[in-house]
Structure 1
């Protein structure tokens, strides 16, 4: 089906939201309308008048004041007037684009230095295993509920309002801090070519205008830009993998066979002499891996603006994991074979210093000229891409948080214009992004460190919330006499996969507390602790403050009271079951290799 036909079909979809199920609190069915206006320029007006009109707010009907808080949240997020312009290719590249950035190209260098090549692989492989479960669980929820705010609303809806409040604030703080962080990173990257520091603010201004300009073009402009950015990054990583294999096998200009030299004495595969020391250094990789992998959840956030989430989200969820696992694990394996963890160049001035990129070091060390500059250009593009994704994510989160009551209404951050742009939220991000102009200040290093601290564990808390929401959704289905046979997409890792990810993330957060309080080779100190663990106390303060304010002492919403219907784009459950059964029957007639491919990809 072509994009035009798909978009036309999407416009014709019935916009009635499935009624909320009855329970002790909600005894009556409530008919809801997802009042999305399809605004088109008027032929009777000039181009300038239509341009001005496009910035006017979309009218959304007032809700019944007698509805409960939970009902209002479900309805508001379900009928948000964001435009459904993202295609499958956009969704896949948005997730890949958000996850391939400075965390891979530059941040992996600090992980290599601190834990050795084997430690890096162990940390990233374990992280990839639970991310598979997170992405699959998120895919299941996002297909069923393509609503405003995506996964940021699931915790409030399926777990508990206080948990959702804390998780959303934690994720929002991570997003808004990463924007100036990435722009400062880009300005530092140009130092590789000897650019004077006095021009750093000029580069910040350039990156600032590009990122904000892309987001003002609306969701389609954002999707196309991210598609191009991600193709460039993926091409760079694939090119490095091919080059890395050639260099390891001795095909470089020096003609030396490298093999596993960097894993042997005097270099070594691990950092540390004892098992306890090596374990502690490996644990330090998980925070870096979380920062590097953060962005895989963007497909769930973009579901509300997807043209056909039932078809596009499952493919994006499964393929994103395999692609990122391939890029990270294979690329980092080659980096560990080509660069010694004792190389002085890995120290760098900051995690944004392109000269400290192990990819650049690997190429320079083996006598290849020209390519290091190409990689640094890609690093700049990667930084722009991640900053771009953060503006998109943060602006949509702010809209959903106002709709859920987690941000005050008077902020108008839920203002969405006729082009589907959250203008006030974008304006807020534009103002906050001005912090990046600290790049030319002597205090730039300190600001950079604390912005990084705010975003450090945010991804882990987000992934934990996604998996916990999936668990609670499945329990609610069972408690209300429903089953997975009515789901458009069932997570391949299932309920146990979400339990696995929750348990593993909880263990990692607990052990990170230990490594942050008693770091390897340094004495315990408050600055080091909070630089690594600042997100955790923020989460706890937000959670318990909301509990006290709301006087809500329940840890979970009872399974029988969880709303599992409002916001579904497919309103006829029986017809949906019949369609799913037919699709499964057709798939069963296909060859084994085809069925295996569809299951995994």
Structure 2
């Protein structure tokens, strides 16, 4: 008899680290300096603080949905159950596309990062890509608990590095380590603490907004968490505080030690030698600082690739369960208790992208940039689904405390905060094009969203779907697969 249940083998510590693995990558270790150079110390801190507030309410929204409905491939399932089947179809395929592209690109970048060490140049970057892909492939086809352990340790490396960096940096600021007392004089050097005016701040706010992409993957793990009612709320709080502290703590330390006027902060070459983390470790006398940070960057890329492959495969599985993808992909393997068919299809697609990158590398990076902005619509779909869930509970006259095992904090004000910031992220990058009447750039900026709306309309017309009736929607916690 065929098994039809996923293995619930992910512990709460796995869940938290998988989300952190998806959200903390090269942006923190390499690109943070550019953020400080563009907006100044306080501008950067304020931008990440605002995004942190959004992240808090967003993670609570996701936690409420995932605890009530702990299903693999969450985002498609949430929208299908509480909003509209066509929305679930569209969001699911968008998230799958983002997942496979991010996973493939992280493997490609990792294959170049490892050649930082001369002995590793014995193999070509393409060979390294295949080796890294093989590693990620193996981690995903074994039992989910083994996958969770691997992701836990990969993510833990960068978590420890960030903590050590913040501690060492703080000691340097107060002159306890190193030969110089830095204090906070660099916070007011030149035009600091705010630099670049409103345009510089808004530009950094956009960077900060998209940098937390990946935290939403915590919802995808709910379907394989051993106790989602306990692990989801715990993971939601841990992920928010850790990511907020890591980003703000790192920026605060870098701003104090390296003035925003230092040209190395821009790091236009993307060199690990000009990473703010490398510079700080160098100044305190840590040997092989560049090698240390390069190692962390490498594990960050592999961790993020691993996390996104996991979320993409579960999204594909959920799509198949809902009839939005071939039903043959919806089967659970009897040995691993995982959606092996969906994993194999996802891995095969990522492998194809890695191979094609040898001939179309620029095209693949452009495609990722093209669809990457759509992650904000995935976030928006979660807020929409949660608000409709709350409305359904009210319309059916049910007790919210009995229906929801975990309630999002700040509802509904928090949801409006998330919507407002998402709308800014959606339009912020096009403001200058509107001012300049640049139609071509406006079209390029909004083309992914236009295509997405087109897909939604076509699916709706073909399948004649309607909005879910909130008065009759099933609000029992049974799985609706």
TM-score in terms of structure 1 length: 0.73
Partner of 1:575: none
Is the contact made by 1:182 and 1:387 (CA closer than 8 Å) also made in structure 2?
Answer: yes
| Change in 2 beyond 3 A, CA 1:206/1:241 | same
CA distance in 2, matches of 1:401, 1:448: 26
Which 5+ residue runs of structure 1 have no aligned equivalent? 1-36, 38-57, 61-80, 273-277, 570-601
Is the contact made by 1:283 and 1:515 (CA closer than 8 Å) also made in structure 2?
Answer: no
Cα RMSD (Å): 2.9
- The structure showing larger relative contact order (alpha-carbon pairs under 8 Å, at least 6 residues apart) is 2
Aligned partner of 1:480 among 396, 416, 426:
396
CA distance in 2, matches of 1:197, 1:122: 45
Partner of 2:18: 94
CA distance in 2, matches of 1:231, 1:190: 19
Name whichever structure is richer in helix by fraction.
2
Partner of 2:380: 464
| Secondary structure of residue in 2 paired with 1:329 | helix
Shift of 1:154: 0.7
Partner of 1:391: 309
Partner of 2:133: 208
Q: How does 1:438-453 map to 2 (within 5 A)?
A: 444-445=361-362, 447-453=364-370
Residues 1:429 and 2:346 aligned together? yes
CA distance in 2, matches of 1:450, 1:168: 18
CA distance in 2, matches of 1:133, 1:476: 20
Aligned partner of 2:330 among 408, 414, 419:
414
| Change in 2 beyond 3 A, CA 1:132/1:450 | same
Residues 1:224 and 2:141 aligned together? no
Aligned partner of 2:429 among 499, 503, 512:
512
Q: How does 1:125-524 map to 2 (within 5 A)?
A: 125-194=49-118, 196=121, 199-253=124-178, 255-266=179-190, 268-272=192-196, 278-348=197-267, 353-364=271-282, 368-409=286-327, 412-418=328-334, 419-434=336-351, 435-437=353-355, 444-445=361-362, 447-455=364-372, 457-486=373-402, 487-515=404-432
CA distance in 2, matches of 1:107, 1:413: 38
| Change in 2 beyond 3 A, CA 1:209/1:533 | farther
Shift of 1:339: 3.2
1:524-543 superposed Cα distances (whole Å, 9 cap, x missing partner): 5857974x656433432322
The count of residues paired between Structure 1 and Structure 2 equals 476
Is the contact made by 2:166 and 2:250 (CA closer than 8 Å) also made in structure 1?
Answer: yes
TM-score in terms of structure 2 length: 0.89
Shift of 1:432: 2.5
CA distance in 1, matches of 2:191, 2:151: 39
| Change in 2 beyond 3 A, CA 1:334/1:538 | farther
Q: Which has more radius of gyration? A: 1
| Change in 2 beyond 3 A, CA 1:342/1:551 | farther
1:293-318 superposed Cα distances (whole Å, 9 cap, x missing partner): 12222221111111111122111112
